[in-house]
Structure 1
């Protein structure tokens, strides 16, 4: 009945173990290499030709290579020798837990392979020979216990039967019950004088196929007289001990009595055997008192049950012995720290990974039992985009719980904590660094949307004029930025180039303000990612004027020398010098001065160029004849450039206009006729002079109107829109998309144009001292005064 209940418990436990996995196989121990276990690919629903592309792999918890999978046919086979006794000891069920992992998509399967026992261990006795002493006075039917054999196998392979060699005095007594008691019985009274020593062979046979045997030689010595053996007060002692009991702890005190008297009553105690045999030194007994004490360390996880066979022997010359059994059950304490194993599947984790992506597999275990072996798993710190998902008993997946952004957090340092339920609780941790893989999700950006650059004209070819710089928060090739120009507006290849790596802008040829005032273009920045991302910035290059054009003088108001009839009053205007300057601003603002070589009563307007007399002139001044007025035209640039203009003035006396014949009276003419002739000549002269003066006035006015164009301006190309001031001075541009380079008169400047002067350059003269102007329009009174 007890055997049937034990078998039912074993079958129930095996069925529970088989139901706890996704797949269950079994294979006998000691199977040869290549032994078929199962068609694992087919049973998992996987195609054979997708095992390699999906990176099919099998992970064993203890990292042993007992089993392997043929990637060509998907068959699970034995790879190396498996010893069930070494792997699981006396445990009735010996499973191997495997994890099967495939990618694309990632899936994890749990497979359990049960290692079945084969009859590869023969029964054995602890000693090759056992000596027994029996009084000849013992009656027929008396029984004597024997030490049974041991078998490392389990199940039916460890079920032993015994056979005793033929003897007319002894027979075997074996009860195949719960305690499997073994002994022999006297079936015929002994006669020491007939046979003093009996030698029998005890053979143990297991239930395997084929059966294996082991034997021991029994040497039975027949003693005389002492016919009462010691007797223990219990045949079986059962006690419990915690595994953390210290060395020297008292286990139990045995007590045996002997009905004999004298020396035959004195008893000594001894330990005949300890099962498991390899731990026979863990306990010792005091031979006088029968006190059993702990002589080593206990470990519940190694052995949880000890069986001690003790013997009490009297001190007779022919000693008799009594026997008992001590069963010691070891109780578990929480003395094993939980274990955690992390298998990383995806490192680094791309920042564009979807939620639910499996990053690592985590398995936890605890060698303790009961609540001491129940563990829980947690993740630290909180608030991170990862979580633990339980996939099987004591198995977890570290999965992505939230979207990632490498530019915010480049890596995560995680701590996996496993804690048991014992008292006090024990825990273990495992650190895991999860770097985040970069994805090209950020385009290069410039620090500002527009750059304004000022470059003086006449720069050397290849001059570095500016550097643009774009940043990309990505990393590696995703952050490697290269630059190029956008030439959609107009071809820039002959003017500007950009270095693809540094972003430096170079002027390929000298820039000429008089030809172009503004270059506006886009610089694009592109990273090296796949696919690449781009950004751009607008660059406005304003060309600053340099004083590289001297004033150009045009002809005076009248062609040829100017005839001046004296006398004339002071301030009489002789003519006007016209000059133009291709530069702009302060560099094109002209002033007129008399050359130091010029002598005479002349002056020239400082900004108008009008030449006039400084005093009244009479006929005395006509004696000089023709005179040249040399005018110096200068701009306000630094250094100033200049040109000269010459105005030739012919002085004519009024008496030379009237042709009088002073000699007529001396020639004897008629005085009256002479007077009449004089009056006629005088009238003719007056009319001629009046006509000539009127003609001169008409011609002068016509020439003045002809020499003053309605729009006396010169424009340069470009689209200037900006008015600003900086450390290099103040500059402005016309709202008619060009800057005025030169004008004929100050009044001819358009009232909506702007002129700009550097604060460090004198712009006008007031009371003999130069005054500074920052910026003003020509409609201002100051310009009107010029």
Structure 2
């Protein structure tokens, strides 16, 4: 307890007492303080931060603030030191009137985490209001014949303070006729009365002026005074009298205007005009602007005019005079106490203070969203209010203090399911019938980046023809994000990697906003059959979320490669043609040469056919070429009529649309049988060799075939063993997205094989071993099946080269046979 004094000689003294009481009630989280009214600005009320268990350094970061229903300006908190102090003048009488209890309720709020404390500051009364009389002068009429010890009631003073500060005492100025008597009424209030101690003589003293002083019980005492003007009347020695000095009436606050309150009746023992009575109201307490009372001066009937309001005044005191018409007149007095009965005529009031709106969808359960305070001006059960929340949503009301609630989160939120909640808070009182009021709260759920962009399917297959124009649009990817605003703003990018020796971004690009995929350069099926890559979709949230989709771009072949002729080492010739001798003794159907060609395209575009162009002059040639093998053979036996030099023009054509062609020139020299060398085959880029086999009958073909098959089988077993050993000892191979390996190109009708230096790439996801790249252009022959099996088990390129070289030798032997 802190005391402070001010004052000096000749000046009233004012005692200020500041009571600091911090009491934590279990479960209420309430702090109680008390402060004297009229305390100076800056007066310390309490160390609120310390009492609430908060550190001074966290007041500002946690946004320490104070909320109060209409009274926030009276008290303030100094954030640097956490002290609650008086901010402006506090007048207890203005706040609470004559109520015995007077408190200021504060709500202290801090964030991160959100906490709400209730602080009650009791305002203590000080003696700052002196006793006040309604009028500066009171008139009293007293007959000169009034007997000794007659009592004459006076109008008392009113003190706006409460308790001991409103306890009044009265003193009467010095005089020889009257003394003062104090009457205590049932409501503990006191009323001063004049008591006649000496007979009056109007002729000697027609009028008296006496000073009545009222003093309250405060420290220091305050006083008020009124002049009592006593008029001595001539004899009318019987005053009107009521049946009893006081009457009590109860009225409901909804009674209609003009309702009769009571019928008063006074009697006078005098005769004649001295017993005729006129009624009047001397005083009504308290004074009301809504309601007043009037009395019929003839009948004494009191009626109410206006509207009774229990919430404004719950009782009225009517002081009534009954004055006779004697000369001088005499008066009788009574008091009518009107009690106003409460009705449930006030609906509850709801006030909502929003704190955390909009609410993040990842907010924790128990987060306080808003503070709700309810009130009802009625009393008793009519003023008891309960709150409810509708509809059934992930929120609930938690009662934190009397008539105070917190709207808190009861379960997890999901903005993608519900983005806004329309809540209705209903406050209902306990009256019968009960009255209710509602308040709406719109809780908007703020988006959190908790959804990654999603593609409709995990993988797309795209077909693009080769030789596309640069920058052409080949596909559009689209991902949807269930979030909102920037969290749903999706941008696209390539998942960069290497395609062979080049970067993926040199082949394709993706528009960041539209998701359109463009081919940056013409694609070549012969270089790249499959381009497999990933596109990433990422949103603009913090942190961003993303997902990938796989695109398999198949480059479709077009007939953009003409057949290419394969030269055979050792072929002789010049000037763009090769010459080979052919014995004139060969018969019909003998193979004298073979044209070999390959096409870099695939499928139908790489299927080659061979045609022999007609000779100049329309002469029929004794040679023909096989449509699909390119073998040049005789159509009949050669004779002396045939020219010694035969020039053949072979047209090689693929099956594309349109078809592409190449030509090969083959020069054959017809010689006598004794001059012909051993048969051989020639291939030229513009010419072909010729030869014939002699002495084939001298060799047993079956023996050579059996030897060749046994040798190849042995080599296959050895290759399988070697390949298994290499796989077990070598590190894991790289993905199949690296540079393509040289492939074996096997194209022969009779077992002749050659190795192509053409490069191919096969691009995929980078998982698993690369597939075999052995291709056969004569799939109808058994050699293709066998070579394909060998390739499947033989992945090392050096092994393939050795095997292919060996098979070439075997093919040459078989061909020569």
TM-score with structure 2 setting the length: 0.77
Partner of residue 424 from structure 2, selected from 415, 429, 446: 415
The alpha carbon displacement at 1:386 in A equals: 1.6
Measured after TM superposition, the shift of residue 593 of structure 1 is 3.6
The 1:296–1:626 alpha-carbon spacing in structure 2 relative to 1, beyond 3 Å, is same
Task: State the match for 1:729 in structure 2.
Answer: none
Distance 1:752 1:133, change over 3 A: farther
C-alpha separation in 2, matches of 1:459 and 1:705: 33
How many residues matched? 690
Is 1:115 the counterpart of 2:123? The answer is: yes
Q: What is the CA-CA distance between 1:303 and the residue it aligns to?
A: 1.1
Shifted more, 344-353 versus 372-381: the winner is: 344-353
Secondary structure of the residue that 1:277 maps to in structure 2? coil
| Contact 1:716-1:738 at 8 Å conserved across structures | no
Listed one character per residue, the Cα deviations across residues 490-548 of structure 1 (whole Å, up to 9, x for unaligned) are 64343334444444433343322222222223333333434333322222222221211
Question: Given the alignment, which residue of 35, 39, 43 partners 2:43?
Answer: 35
Match of 1:60 in 2: 68
Given the superposition, is the C-alpha separation of residues 84 and 690 from structure 1 closer, same or farther in structure 2, using an over 3 Å criterion?
closer
Residue 739 of structure 1 deviates from its aligned partner by 8.1
1:255 Cα deviation after fit: 1.4
Whether 2:372 is the aligned partner of 1:376: answer: no
Match of 2:795 in 1: none
Deviation of residue 96 (structure 1)? 0.9
| Distance in 2 (alpha carbons) for counterparts of 1:191 and 1:690 | 188
The Cα offsets for residues 256-303 of structure 1, whole Å up to 9 and x where unpaired, read as: 112222222222211111111345962122222222111111221111
- Who is 1:274 aligned against? 284
The whole-number CA distance in structure 2 between the counterparts of 1:521 and 1:646 is 46
Q: 1:469 aligns with which of 465, 474, 478?
A: 478
1:455 partnered with 2:464: yes
Residue 392 to residue 572, structure 1, CA distance change in 2 (3 Å): same
Report the counterpart of residue 743 of structure 1 in structure 2: 777
Q: Which residue in 2 is equivalent to 1:679?
A: none
Q: 2:279 & 2:748 partners in 1: Cα distance?
A: 151
Please give the residue correspondences for 1:134-283 in structure 2 after superposition, counting only pairs within 5 Å. 134-176=142-184, 178-279=188-289, 282-283=292-293
Residue in 2 that maps onto 1:577: 595
Deviation string 1:700-741 (CA, Å, 9 cap, x unpaired) is 999x9998424787875344799xxxxxxxxxxxx954484x
Distance, in Å, in 2 between the alignment partners of 1:270 and 1:237 is 16
Show the counterpart of 1:9.
none
Single out whichever of 26-35 and 443-452 deviates more from structure 2: 443-452
In structure 2, the CA distance between the partners of 1:705 and 1:120, relative to structure 1 (3 Å rule), is: closer
Whether 1:633 aligns to 2:630 is no
For residue 436 of structure 1, report the CA deviation from its aligned partner: 2.4
Asked if the contact 1:145/1:183 (under 8 Å) is kept, the reply is yes
Q: Please show how residues 611-626 of structure 1 align to structure 2 within 5 Å.
A: 611=632, 622=642, 626=645
Give the Cα separation in 1 of the matches to 2:166 and 2:152. Answer: 24
Q: Which runs of 5+ in 2 are unaligned?
A: 1-20, 573-577, 681-690, 700-746, 789-817
Map 1:508-547 to 2 at 5 A: 508-547=520-559
C-alpha spacing 1:688/1:248, structure 2 compared with 1 (3 Å): same
Partners of 2:679 and 2:462 in 1: how far apart? 59
- Offset from partner CA, 1:628-680 (integer Å, 9 cap, x none): 4433322222222112233446678xxxx7xxxxxxxxxxxxxxxxxxxxxxx
Q: Using structure 1 for the length normalisation, give the TM-score.
A: 0.79
Between 313-322 and 497-506, the greater mean CA deviation after superposition: 497-506
CA contact 1:454–1:542 (8 Å) conserved in 2: yes
Distance 2:158 2:395 in 1: 53
CA distance, structure 2, for counterparts of residue 276 and residue 706 of structure 1: 129
Cα distance in 2 between the residues matched to 1:369 and 1:125: 31
Matching residue of 1:669: none
Give unpaired runs (5+ residues) of structure 1: 1-14, 658-686, 723-734, 755-786
Query: Greater shift after overlay, 225-234 or 488-497?
Result: 488-497
Query: 1:176-228 deviations in whole A, cap 9, x for unaligned?
Result: 45342322122112222222222222222222223222222222222223222
Structure with the greater alpha carbon radius of gyration: 1
Distance 1:63 1:16 in 2: 20
Asked if the contact 2:531/2:764 (under 8 Å) is kept, the reply is no
| Aligned counterpart, 1:485 | 495
C-alpha distance in structure 2 between counterparts of 1:48 and 1:708, whole Å: 96
Q: Secondary structure at the match of 1:360?
A: strand
SS of the residue corresponding to residue 295 of structure 1 reads: strand
- 1:451 & 1:291 partners in 2: Cα distance? 100
Q: Which of residues 689, 696, 700 is equivalent to 2:692?
A: 696
What SS is found at the alignment partner of 2:547?
strand
1:437 to 424, 432, 446: 446
CA distance in 2, matches of 1:690, 1:116: 140
Q: Is the 8 A contact 1:743 1:749 kept in 2?
A: no
Q: Secondary structure at the match of 1:424?
A: coil
Tell me the distance in 2 between the aligned counterparts of 1:563 and 1:18: 124
* Distance of 2:293 and 2:269 partners within structure 1: 29
Question: Conserved in 1, the CA contact under 8 Å of 2:285 and 2:318?
Answer: yes
Q: Deviations over 1:366-412 (max 9, x none)?
A: 11111111111111111x22221222112222222222222222232
Matches of 2:148 and 2:598 in 1, distance apart? 155
| Structure 1 residue 589 corresponds to structure 2 residue 607 | yes
- Partners of 1:424 and 1:621 lie apart in 2 by 135
CA distance in 2, matches of 1:607, 1:86: 117
Residue 372 of structure 1 aligns to a residue whose secondary structure is helix
The answer to whether the 8 Å contact 1:446/1:469 transfers is yes
